[in-house]
Amino acid sequence: MILRRWALVALSFLAAIAISTWMAWRGWQHDGTAPGLPWRAHLLALLVFALETATRATKVQWGAKALRIPLKWFTALRVSLGGDFGASITPARAGAEPARFLVLAEAGVATAPALLILFFELALELVSLVLVCGVLAVFTDGGALAGGMIGVIGGYAMFVIGLAAVAFALAGRRPVGPPPRWLRALGIHAGRWRAIRRALRHIRSGMEGVRDARAGAMTVAFGLSLAHVALRLAVLPALIYGAGLTAPWMPLVVWPLLLLYGGAVAPAPGGGGAMEVGFSLGLRHVLDPSALAGALIWWRFYSFYIYLIAGAIVAGSTVVRAITGTRRSSPRDSSPPVHRPVG
């Protein structure tokens, strides 16, 4: 099973690299230039990455502070980047939350506070996405881009709301007895069901802490969440304008939004080339053919691969244990986290 999992990861990444290589070859055939960008573009993209990483870690820390849960900034950084690494090497980003949860557990955060931090961070990102999309919609003239934003964010919102509803419905059931029939059909056996029930009860009881959340810290966390989303969408404009190229800013912002958040449901780790295909199709009329391949390769690097590398460095072994189920035993870590579709 583990070998098949890593083989799928390898094949998915090979497919993505093959498509990027083909795009680079087409650009070379078009004008004989390599898909490079000037140093100013790379410097701006690195600055955006550094700011986004620091902002997201600070958001997690302030979210925990709002819930009156002590959390060190470096632990918050490992939570963020470890989740990115886990999401990158699993289908549909399914490994994000188990990775984040285990990072918190191994840092000494108990189950209930850890789950509460993760759910609160997910809610902040959802509200931030809705607000950012609302602002972007003001500047669009309708059409496919506006419809795509509504579809992606609407689907994401429905998923989160549905997940919360199912979680609280299951948490309200009696603590004894076998799992429901529909869960048994999904392969959830009695032992796994008990672990899920414990996690759901932790969430339900932990929600009491939200009522006493610190409003000031919550406001700071929400502002940082908005900044984090805006910075994730600023990578492509930083590359394009840093290279001295001209292009309308709206597609450079909206297409990454659609690909980063809509592509989260791709069944292959890292998208399996779907992100590269979507980028080339969506922006082929926006960017000059000579610049399209370079923009694709470097956008993918600064929006995906650099997070994978950073996550592997700061929390690689923990993430692998979370995904393969070979994690160290811990009295604080007995309940599985929920799936997170977006990183």
Both structure tokens of 34 = 């390599």
pLDDT tens digits, residue range 129-155? 888 888 887 777 655 665 666 666 666
Residue 43 has pLDDT above 90, yes or no: yes
pLDDT tens digits, residue range 256-280? 988 888 776 677 788 888 889 889 8
User: How sure is the predictor about 7, in pLDDT bands with cuts at 50, 70 and 90?
Assistant: confident
pLDDT at 86: 93
Q: Under a CB-based contact definition with an 8 Å cutoff, are residues 60 and 318 in contact?
A: no
Q: What mean pLDDT is reported for the chain?
A: 81
Backbone angles phi, psi at 268, to 5 degrees: -105, 145
Q: Model pTM?
A: 0.82
Residue 240 has pLDDT above 60, yes or no: yes
Residue 286 has pLDDT above 60, yes or no: yes
Residue 288 has pLDDT above 80, yes or no: yes
94: closest CA among 285, 264, 332, 315?
264
Query: How far, in Å, CA of 317 to CA of 322, rounded?
Result: 9
H and E: helices and strands count for the chain: 15, 0
